[in-house]
Amino acid sequence: MLPLVGPHQSYPLLSKCLDVEIVAALCPPSWGTNSGQRYVKLTRYRQPARRYSPLPLSPPRSLMKNARLLAIAAVATSIPLIVSGCGGADAAESSGAASVSVGVVPGVDLAPLYLGIQEGVFDELNLTVTINSLSASSSSLLTALGEDRFDFGYADTLSVLSAIEGGAAIDILSGAAASSGNAQLDYAAIMVRPDSDITSLSNLTGRTIGVDSRGSTNEFVMRDAMLAANVPAELATWKTVPFVDAVGSINSGAVDAALVTEPFLTTARLAGMRIISYPYAEFDRNLTVSMYVASSAFTEKKPEVVERFRMALQRSYDLARTKPGLVRDSLTSFIKTGADVRTRLTLPSFTTHIDTGSVTLLGERAKKLGMIQSIPDFATILP
């Protein structure tokens, strides 16, 4: 426990352990009722949002929820800090090599993760990553994650919200992919056969529609787009069709229309299939489509490993944004694609940022559609 006895006092050892710089200062007059009180100022931290926390108010939630390393409280004229995992053998173990498992559902959204592994980003942070891509849907993946069969997982946003609502012990770490922002050329689309009599969403009444997972973000955006075209989802027949089978199911007539994502979308376009909607961008150009999450048990047990994984993700995403050619090449490591498809496909917006506005709107609309029972407390569950 370290007392901060005066303003502008820092602790190098604490900074070294947590990769932060902490100083004490007095609240300025502009802070109103908190004027003159001490507060903790974080001048360097891995998650820079919410940099200041006036005391005796609550500490930054991002520190408490995500790092789970720091507790700050005001007692009389001193400010004690309680730090866990920063001494002796525990520190050596937490900063050493670690093996982690990530459950995923294959899709172009995963390119930054695979790219980071290929380019040694995770190795640089002493992380050995094993990817399990056997889950058929986000819901089954999240169930496995809640049962501690994986340490981390990648899943669509609505499935994550539904799982948390259902009591799943998972923590949201970051965004994974967002809409390209282009309602004329996004990385997911509702497609039909070249000779189909379906020319718009309004023609979907009474048709059979394919979606990769029920209760997912993909089903939601399709339902929302159909409702905007005055076609209640209940007037269509829904069929679960994995991404890899979507194009074949449309061609065979098993479904009349389906949501198809890249790289299968470009394959279908090159084969002459028609697009009647880009539902991600049509719903919200900034839509956070998918997220990375962690098992709450793993977060509690190994917070430093979780933070290293988050840091590796951020570096991988930075690389993906600056090297799109590498991203396209990396697709061959987890999805079979030809050069003609890789050079033409539309990439998502690769960002770890979670767009609160779009996610909040998704939650509100999903509740109206009966896909979730209540609107989540986003201030609590988002990093």
What string of pLDDT tens digits covers the 383 residues of the chain? 333 333 333 333 333 333 443 344 444 444 444 444 443 433 333 333 333 333 333 344 443 444 343 333 333 333 333 333 333 334 334 568 999 999 998 889 999 999 999 999 999 999 999 999 867 688 888 988 888 889 999 999 999 999 999 998 899 999 999 999 999 999 999 999 999 999 999 999 999 999 999 999 999 999 999 999 999 999 999 999 988 899 999 999 999 999 999 999 999 999 999 999 999 999 999 999 999 999 999 999 999 999 999 999 999 999 999 999 999 999 988 888 899 999 999 999 999 999 999 999 999 999 999 999 999 999 999 99
| Residue 183 within a domain | no
**3-class SS of residue 328:** helix
CA–CA separation, 123 vs 146, rounded Å? 26
For residue 126, what are the contacts with CB-CB under 8 A and spacing of at least 6? 95, 96, 97, 98, 308
The pLDDT of residue 54: 35
| Residue 321 within a domain | yes
The pLDDT of residue 121: 98
Question: Scanning the structure block, which residue is given the tokens 């053998």?
Answer: 89
Same domain? For 110 and 242 the reply is no
Give the chain's domain count.
Answer: 3
Residue 161 structural domain? 97-175+287-381
Same domain? For 351 and 216 the reply is no
| Residue 5 within a domain | no
Same domain? For 301 and 372 the reply is yes
CA–CA separation, 41 vs 52, rounded Å? 5
Name the pairing type of β-strands 257-261 and 81-83.
unpaired
Name the pairing type of β-strands 38-44 and 52-54.
antiparallel
| Residue 153 within a domain | yes
> Which of 229, 254, 283 delimits the end of a domain?
283
| Residue 342 within a domain | yes
| Residue 140 within a domain | yes
Whether the Cβ atoms of residue 231 and residue 205 lie closer than 8 Å to each other: yes
Same domain? For 253 and 169 the reply is no
For residue 326, what are the contacts with CB-CB under 8 A and spacing of at least 6? 115, 119, 319, 320
| Residue 368 within a domain | yes
The pLDDT of residue 95: 61
Same domain? For 83 and 154 the reply is no
**3-class SS of residue 376:** coil
